[in-house]
């Protein structure tokens, strides 16, 4: 295996790792949103003032960790741009090395 093939394999592995991290992040973010919504329901329906205050504190802390729709849209655009660049590189590689699979 030559140096270019080794680098391409490493690049491909890195890209696949990024995709896995992205998917795991989306899953965890969804779980965090579910917890956030559950706390909102609890805060609104709690009769105990002490518990309500503590739940509100937790809710406020979680609120700071959520990504806004605007930030998520920006991340999706960034990811699309990275994917386009990655695909462009693959096209160039296949043009230079047509026998590379």
- Token pair in block for residue 38: 């559950």
Instruction: Quickly state the pLDDT bin for 100 (edges 50, 70, 90).
Output: low
Chain segment 44-72, per-residue pLDDT in tens: 888 888 888 888 888 888 777 777 778 87
Residue 101 has pLDDT above 60, yes or no: no
CA 51, CA 22: separation in Å to the nearest integer? 35
Residue 1 has pLDDT above 70, yes or no: no
Chain segment 5-53, per-residue pLDDT in tens: 888 888 888 888 888 888 888 888 888 888 878 878 888 888 888 888 8
Domain ranges for the chain: 33-84
């Amino acid at each position: 295996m030559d140096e270019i093939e080794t680098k391409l394999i490493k690049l491909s592995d890195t890209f696949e790792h990024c995709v896995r991290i992205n998917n795991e992040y989306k899953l965890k973010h969804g779980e965090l949103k579910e917890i956030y919504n559950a706390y909102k329901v609890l805060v609104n329906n709690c009769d105990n003032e002490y518990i309500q205050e503590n739940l509100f504190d937790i809710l406020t802390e979680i609120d700071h960790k959520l990504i806004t729709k605007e930030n998520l849209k920006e991340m999706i655009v960034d990811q699309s741009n990275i994917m386009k660049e990655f695909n462009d590189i693959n096209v160039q590689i296949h043009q230079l090395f047509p026998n590379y699979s």
